[in-house]
Amino acid sequence: MLRTMFGEPGRTDEGRVRDVLTLAEELAERYRQRRSGELAMEAQRLVAWTKSIASSFDELEQSVYCAAKYAERVRTAYVEEMGPEERADYRRHLYFYKNGFIRVFSVLDKLGSFLNDGFSLRAEQVKARYSYFTVLRCMRETRAHPELLDRLDDVKRRYREQVQDLRLMRNHEVHAINTELLDEDGRLRLRPRDRRQPVEDLRQNMETLQGGFAMVGESLHAALAYCIRQG
């Protein structure tokens, strides 16, 4: 949808995006077929979770794509040296970059809620406002669905560094200070002798965000495929 901003046709689903959206629709259809008898309410709830996860993943992909496209248009080292058009593109990059890393955790937490609900893990008894990572811990402690847990833990390990960086940025953006004023360790970028605002490392931004997006995609693929195999 957002590709029209760049004069491009709509997205053609392929690769991990296509696979995740296809699995989500297949799983939702299986739940729809259960909407009768005692399991009707549970099935309806799981359909809603599955559709919400698919929609959020689609929105995450669009944010990542737009962040990358706007990053390509930025060449200047300091914000104060930019012309109006480049500065606008830089701000658009930051908007979609922030939107992207916030959505990474939003999608993961929806996946966690889906797994908690579908597998009756009761993560809310461990932590009232539980996260995806709380759900993984519950699965580990109760030894629930070890095949899926092994797969999800493997994905988490492979993208640990990117996810940790994105979590730091998310926490600062939501709870503290604008992320473009911070370095990778959460310190203020501005120096006493140079009041110019340096441009973000856009290449690093996108590598980190792409890693988070890949982690989300692989986790969703593993979880949805597992639920389909479980019938």
Q: Structural domain tally of the chain? A: 1
What CA–CA distance (Å, rounded) separates 181 from 32?
A: 47
Split at pLDDT 50, 70, 90, the class of 39 is low
What 91-96 contacts at long range (C-beta under 8 Å, 24+ apart), as own/partner pairs, is 92/66, 93/67, 93/200, 93/202, 93/205, 94/179, 94/180, 94/200, 96/63, 96/64, 96/66, 96/67, 96/70
Is the pLDDT at 107 greater than 90? The verdict is yes
Q: Which residue has the higher pLDDT, 72 or 197?
A: 72
| pTM, rounded to two decimals | 0.88
Q: What is the pLDDT confidence band of residue 43, given thresholds at 50, 70 and 90?
A: confident
Range of the domain at 109: 2-230
CB 138: neighbour CB atoms within 10 A? 23
Q: At 177, is the pLDDT very low, low, confident or very high (cuts 50, 70, 90)?
A: low
